[in-house]
């Protein structure tokens, strides 16, 4: 387990609430992850990333952390996590865990102690921030003498204002407001405070000392806010910071010092521990500074997840992503699904108003687009094709649990089971993210399709009946299943030295604006590999000799009378290219 594995790893995201439930309470747990970890190892991935399992009141599914050094009882204990890390290492899997440094839960002792100390009224203060005492130490609190107005116009990512006024000790409005870029139960931390900085370095060490290989950093671009807290005149949405003008809550120059300090902590370990940042910035070039050699090793690249089902759009997303990381010698990461976005088969499913199935919706989308009838068969076909393209790109890639099963977004959950704070804070206008968090189906039968034991309580979100046919049991051993496609792709990715790290060269042969084709040049004595995808429209015949099919997203592929390969619409393939063939194919 040496080397810079993170430059080419495939990392499987486990969402603990929904992976596997060992005790039948309807909620996944760490012991459940241990029971099912062999499934992940047998897929052929290199590492897992676990979404938060810390003690939490769960107002944002654990992204509201009440104690960074304790596990929520619903998930297990620190000892369970240590055992999970040991199991994973025994199976050759590295383990990344989530850290949430932008905000805590309001039940965290730092916030609770400050509350217990009382809140003076602004009438007694001539300042806009506390310079001593409990309120100066951890959270971001600003004073506003007018009393009634918030310090600025910032909005919460879940809907509503980003500031909540604290009550003074006598119960009157204090004129002091705490910031929450997310739910009101998630107060933002003040990263100008030395105590916050040293606490987090200590938390990193706490988990590194327990064997974790690295962290995924939540809202990594949000920790430092623009001095003076000006109004936000950007059109920032879901924490996406853009250039025009930049949002004052995100991507501030001061954030980089924090990651330089964190990198020093990671480098104290042997082997060095690693970071992947959740950095929603636009354009992709704004990612580059985060990836400098003394900052984060990698960052998610969300241009990929937002790319439409349209070949020039996908190519552009790939090019800008590669350029932003290449500029500082960092690997690119690729992601099509996670616990915050619609699952790919649903995103790519054509609907009447969007036949290309671009499908990326913002968290606060209130258009009602989720009610439109969708062609999920085409959606799944496209998701499989997109997965093969992702796994052929240079760098590392993320798979979200259930992506290997081709699960679709559960759009029609009853209102009363929805738990995403975005649903609540928008009064139900935005459906939120519960639909990609429905517990996994492991078997065809049983009341939770094997998610929990036979006598389990109902799962925390109901699984649709289609889950039976998409379960692991139903797909295993069926060569045309999405599960077997994923396993084959990951096996090939390991066997083909051209895949993973390395160069990408576009084929210039013009097959029209619906086809993308690129070559991964030969490395380490192996053969070059071509990946080609037909994204829309009708089947494409590949002229000349393009290589031998290694794998197709839907197959088997057929050839025409001249032996030319026919690639149906919404299909991708990997071809091995013997040294006798040109790479890349020149323009004609
Ligand atoms: C990003 C996480 O991925 C999301 O699930 C969470 O709600 C927000 N950050 C706030 O922590």
Give the separation between CA 293 and CA 250, rounded to whole angstroms.
21
- Looking at the CA of residue 64, tell me the nearest atom of ligand 1: 11
Domain presence at residue 187: no
Residue 572 belongs to domain with CATH number:
2.60.40.1180
List the beta bridge partners of residue 10: 397
pLDDT tens for 472-528 read 999 999 999 999 999 999 999 999 999 999 999 999 777 778 999 999 999 999 999
Domain presence at residue 497: no
The predicted pLDDT at position 513 comes to 81
Q: Please tell me the residue having the least CA distance from ligand 1 atom 2.
A: 218
Q: Please tell me the residue having the least CA distance from ligand 1 atom 10.
A: 63
Is 355 or 455 the better-scoring residue by pLDDT? 455
Cis amide linkage into residue 556, ω under 30° from 0: yes
**Going by C-beta distance under 8 Å and a sequence separation of 6 or more, which residues neighbour residue 184?**
106, 156, 160, 164
Residue 158 belongs to domain with CATH number:
3.90.400
Domain presence at residue 455: no
Please give the structure tokens belonging to residue 416: 């009363």
Same domain, 41 and 89: yes
For the chain, the domain total comes to 3
Same domain, 90 and 113: no
List the beta bridge partners of residue 566: 541, 558
CB atoms within 10 A of CB 477: 9
Write down which residue in 179, 207, 227 finishes a domain.
179
Rounded to the nearest angstrom, the distance between the alpha carbon of 549 and the centre of ligand 1 is 40
Same domain, 12 and 43: yes
Place of tokens 């057929």: 558
Same domain, 150 and 237: no
The predicted pLDDT at position 428 comes to 94
Domain presence at residue 458: no
Spatial strand order of the sheet with 333-335 comes to 298-299, 274-277, 214-217, 94-99, 47-50, 10-14, 396-400, 333-335
Q: Please tell me the residue having the least CA distance from ligand 1 atom 6.
A: 63
Residue 234 belongs to domain with CATH number:
3.20.20.80
Rounded to the nearest angstrom, the distance between the alpha carbon of 53 and the centre of ligand 1 is 13
Which of 112-121, 138-147, 356-365 shows the highest mean pLDDT?
112-121
Q: Element (H or E) spanning 337, and its range?
A: none
Q: Is the pLDDT of residue 309 over 60?
A: yes
- pLDDT band of residue 241 (cuts 50, 70, 90) is low
Instruction: Judge contact between 585 and 509, C-beta under 8 A.
Output: yes
Domain presence at residue 410: yes
Same domain, 113 and 97: no
Rounded to the nearest angstrom, the distance between the alpha carbon of 153 and the centre of ligand 1 is 21
Place of tokens 């994204």: 535
Which of 135, 129, 130, 131 shows the shortest CA–CA distance to 111?
135
Q: Is the pLDDT of residue 286 over 50?
A: yes
Q: Is the pLDDT of residue 359 over 80?
A: no
Ligand 1 site, CB within 6 A: 60, 63, 100, 182, 218-219, 278, 339-340
Instruction: Judge contact between 412 and 540, C-beta under 8 A.
Output: no
**Is 268 part of the annotated catalytic residue set?**
yes
Domain presence at residue 560: yes
Same domain, 156 and 278: no
- Looking at the CA of residue 421, tell me the nearest atom of ligand 1: 7
CB atoms within 10 A of CB 109: 12
Domain presence at residue 444: no
Tell me what the mean pLDDT of segment 555-582 comes to: 92
Distances (CA, A) of 524 to 4, 458, 506, 529, 584: 17, 51, 21, 13, 18
Same domain, 418 and 319: yes
The predicted pLDDT at position 412 comes to 94
Cis amide linkage into residue 245, ω under 30° from 0: yes
Considering the chain, what is the average pLDDT of its residues? 93
- Per the structure, the complete domain to which residue 283 belongs is given by 5-101+193-430+472-490
**Going by C-beta distance under 8 Å and a sequence separation of 6 or more, which residues neighbour residue 308?**
314, 356, 358, 360
Same domain, 532 and 414: no
Same domain, 129 and 273: no
Same domain, 305 and 216: yes
Domain presence at residue 496: no
The predicted pLDDT at position 2 comes to 45
List the beta bridge partners of residue 517: 532
- pLDDT band of residue 466 (cuts 50, 70, 90) is very high
Please give the structure tokens belonging to residue 561: 């009378």
Which of 217, 205, 159 shows the shortest CA–CA distance to 183?
159
Same domain, 51 and 152: no
Q: What DSSP character marks residue 345?
A: H
Q: Please tell me the residue having the least CA distance from ligand 1 atom 5.
A: 340
Instruction: Judge contact between 572 and 533, C-beta under 8 A.
Output: yes
Rounded to the nearest angstrom, the distance between the alpha carbon of 559 and the centre of ligand 1 is 47
The predicted pLDDT at position 53 comes to 98
The predicted pLDDT at position 238 comes to 45
Which class for 56: exposed (0-12), middle (13-18), buried (19 or more C-beta within 10 A)? buried
Q: Is the pLDDT of residue 243 over 70?
A: no
The predicted pLDDT at position 432 comes to 94
Write down which residue in 463, 490, 517 finishes a domain.
490
Instruction: Judge contact between 488 and 459, C-beta under 8 A.
Output: no
Tell me what the mean pLDDT of segment 290-318 comes to: 94
3-state secondary structure of 53: coil
Which of 195, 280, 201 shows the shortest CA–CA distance to 242?
280
pLDDT tens for 35-88 read 999 999 999 999 999 999 999 999 999 999 999 999 999 999 999 999 999 999
Distances (CA, A) of 29 to 14, 399, 416, 449, 560: 11, 20, 23, 16, 52
Given the residues 4, 195, 202, 268, the one annotated as active site: 268
**Is 218 part of the annotated catalytic residue set?**
yes
pLDDT tens for 252-285 read 999 999 999 999 999 999 999 999 999 999 888 9
**How many residues in total does the chain contain?**
588
- Looking at the CA of residue 158, tell me the nearest atom of ligand 1: 7
Same domain, 67 and 115: no
């Amino acid at each position: 387990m040496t080397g810079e594995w993170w430059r080419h790893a495939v990392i499987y995201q486990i969402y603990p609430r929904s992976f596997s439930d060992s005790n039948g309470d309807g909620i996944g747990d760490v012991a459940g992850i241990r029971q099912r970890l062999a499934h992940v190892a047998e897929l052929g991935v290199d590492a897992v990333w676990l979404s938060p399992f810390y003690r939490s009141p769960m107002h944002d599914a654990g992204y509201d952390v009440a104690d960074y050094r304790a596990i929520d009882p619903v998930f297990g204990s620190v000892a369970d996590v240590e055992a999970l890390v040991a199991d994973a290492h025994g199976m050759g899997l590295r383990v990344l865990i989530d850290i949430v440094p932008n905000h805590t839960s309001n039940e965290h002792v730092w916030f609770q102690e400050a509350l217990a100390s009382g809140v003076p009224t602004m009438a007694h203060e001539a300042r806009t921030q506390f310079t001593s005492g409990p309120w100066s130490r951890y959270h971001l609190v600003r004073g506003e003498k007018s009393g009634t107005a918030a310090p600025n116009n910032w909005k919460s990512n879940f809907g509503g204002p980003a500031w909540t006024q604290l009550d003074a000790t006598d119960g009157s409005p204090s004129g002091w407001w705490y910031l929450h870029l997310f739910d009101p139960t998630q107060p933002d931390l003040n990263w100008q405070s030395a105590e916050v900085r040293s606490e987090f370095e200590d938390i990193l060490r706490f988990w590194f000392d327990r064997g974790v290989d690295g962290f995924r950093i939540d809202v990594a671009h949000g920790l430092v806010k623009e001095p003076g807290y000006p109004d936000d005149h950007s059109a920032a949405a879901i924490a996406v910071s853009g250039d025009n003008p930049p949002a004052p809550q995100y991507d501030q120059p001061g954030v980089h010092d924090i990651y330089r300090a964190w990198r020093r902590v990671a480098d104290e370990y042997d082997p060095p521990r690693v970071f992947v940042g959740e950095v929603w910035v636009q354009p992709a070039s704004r990612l580059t500074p985060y990836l400098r050699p003394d900052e984060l090793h990698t960052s998610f690249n969300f241009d990929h997840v937002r790319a439409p089902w349209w070949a020039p759009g996908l190519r552009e997303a790939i090019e800008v992503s590669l350029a932003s990381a290449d500029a500082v010698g960092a690997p690119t990461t690729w992601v099509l699904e996670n616990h915050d976005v619609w699952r790919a088969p649903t995103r790519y499913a054509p609907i009447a108003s969007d036949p290309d199935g671009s499908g990326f919706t913002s968290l606060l989308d209130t258009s009602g687009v989720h009610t439109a009838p969708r062609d999920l068969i085409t959606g799944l076909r496209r998701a499989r094709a997109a997965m093969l393209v992702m796994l052929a790109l240079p760098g590392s890639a993320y798979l979200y649990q259930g992506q290997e099963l081709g699960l679709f977004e559960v759009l029609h959950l009853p209102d009363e089971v929805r738990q995403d704070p975005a649903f609540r804070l928008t009064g139900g206008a935005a459906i939120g993210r519960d639909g990609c968090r429905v517990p996994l189906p492991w078997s065809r039968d049983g009341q939770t399709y094997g998610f929990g034991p036979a006598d389990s309580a109902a799962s925390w979100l109901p699984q649709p009946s289609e889950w039976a046919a998409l379960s692991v049991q139903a797909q295993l051993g069926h060569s045309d299943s999405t599960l077997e496609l994923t396993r084959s792709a990951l096996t090939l990715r390991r066997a083909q030295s051209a895949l993973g790290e390395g160069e990408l060269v576009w084929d210039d042969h013009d097959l029209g604006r619906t086809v993308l084709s690129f070559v991964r040049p030969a490395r380490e004595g192996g053969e070059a590999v071509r990946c080609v995808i037909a994204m829309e429209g009708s089947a494409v015949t590949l002229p000349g000799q393009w290589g031998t099919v290694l794998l197709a997203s839907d197959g088997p592929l057929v050839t025409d009378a001249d032996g030319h390969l026919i690639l149906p619409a919404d299909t991708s393939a990997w071809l091995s290219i013997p040294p006798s063939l040109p790479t890349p194919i020149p323009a004609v």
